[in-house]
Amino acid sequence: MDGLHDMGGRQGFGLVVMSGRREPFHDEWEVRAAAISARLIGQHVYNMDEFRHAIERMAPRHYICASYFERTFTAAATLCVEKGVISHAELNALSGEMVPLASPARPGRIAPADLPELRIGDWVTVKNEFVGGHTRVPAYVRGKRGQIVDISPAYPFADAAAHGLEPAAQRTFDVRFRSADLWPDCCDDAEVHVGLFHCYLEIASPPV
């Protein structure tokens, strides 16, 4: 989903400020919101992928204006309503106001079979795919070429797991990109690594 949450490489943001922003929590309700969501995940009311996607589905203006833990709260409340644990009406009644929730999800997708074997050192290109639902490809690597530097165990496929589909497990590959290949002539020089599911990748020829 090409939403505002996909922030890597976006321009116009100011300085990173550490002063006053070193603590994980700055208010007591933030701990409570995080605790509620952790409990619901622990009890398998929803999974991490559904939780992440519920945050991503917040209306753009709401997403950008909400604090981190308001987003946590909104995702938890949205998923509790969508799964029938509570109703939106009873949440509004008890809050004394209309509580904004995230927008409905688009469909997810299941992982394709018959993926090519990939090894450390292989060059790969991130497929030029546009996914309406949840996905873990940051747009800044879409269509870009990099080199595999590490391989993970098989993880549940997030694009399916976020949508209640069978998340057939897949390995992920840590792929190394040169920043100059991601943002030519408009970045600091660095190697940027992204963990990518097997089916996001296709084999590429090495650079000449």
Partner 1 sequence: MNSSSMETRVAALEALLKEKGALAEDSIPTYAHRTSEEWLPVNGARLCARAWCDSGFKRFLLSDGKAAAASMGFTMPEHHRKLAVKENTPSIHNVICCTLCSCTAFTIIGMAPGWYKDFEYRARIVREARTVLAEMGLVLPDEIHIRVWDTTTDTRYMILPLQPPYTAGWSEERLVRLVTKESLIGVQRLEPPFLAVQDQDTLHG
Q: What residues numbered 106-145 form the site for partner 1, per CB under 8 A?
A: 136-138, 140
Binder among 2, 60, 61, 90 for partner 1 (CB under 8 A): 90
Looking at beta carbons, which pairs linking 63-66 to residues 24 or more positions away fall under 8 Å? 63/3, 63/4, 63/5, 64/4
Identity of the residue, 41 or 204, whose beta carbon is nearer to partner 1 in the bound complex: 41
Sign of CA dihedral 133, 135, 139, 144: negative
Applying CB under 8 A, the span of 69-77, 109-117, 125-133 interacting with partner 1 comes to: 69-77
Is the separation of the CB atoms in 76 and 31 below 8 Å? Answer: no
CA distances from 34 to 39, 46, 48, 59 (A): 9, 14, 13, 21
Supply the minimum distance, in Å, between the C-beta of residue 98 and partner 1. 11
Q: Which residues pair with 202 in a beta bridge?
A: 125
Q: How far apart are CA 203 and CA 147, in angstroms?
A: 10
In whole angstroms, the minimum distance from the beta carbon of 7 to partner 1 comes to 4
DSSP state of 54: H
6 binds partner 1 (CB under 8 A): yes
The interface with partner 1 within residues 21-60 (CB under 8 A) comprises 21-29, 31-36, 38-40, 43, 45, 47-48, 52, 55
Binding to partner 1 by CB under 8 A, coded x per residue (else -) over 164-183, reads --------x-x-x--x--xx
Rounded alpha-carbon distances, angstroms, from residue 68 to 74, 94, 154:
10, 23, 29
Q: Does 61 bind partner 1 (CB under 8 A)?
A: no
Side chain identity at residue 165, one-letter code:
L
Residues 193/177, Cβ–Cβ less than 8 Å: yes
Among 58, 80, 101, 199, binds partner 1 (CB under 8 A): 80
- Tell me how far, at minimum, the Cβ of 76 lies from partner 1, in Å: 7
Q: Of 5-13, 101-109, 111-119, 122-130, which part binds partner 1 (CB under 8 A)?
A: 5-13
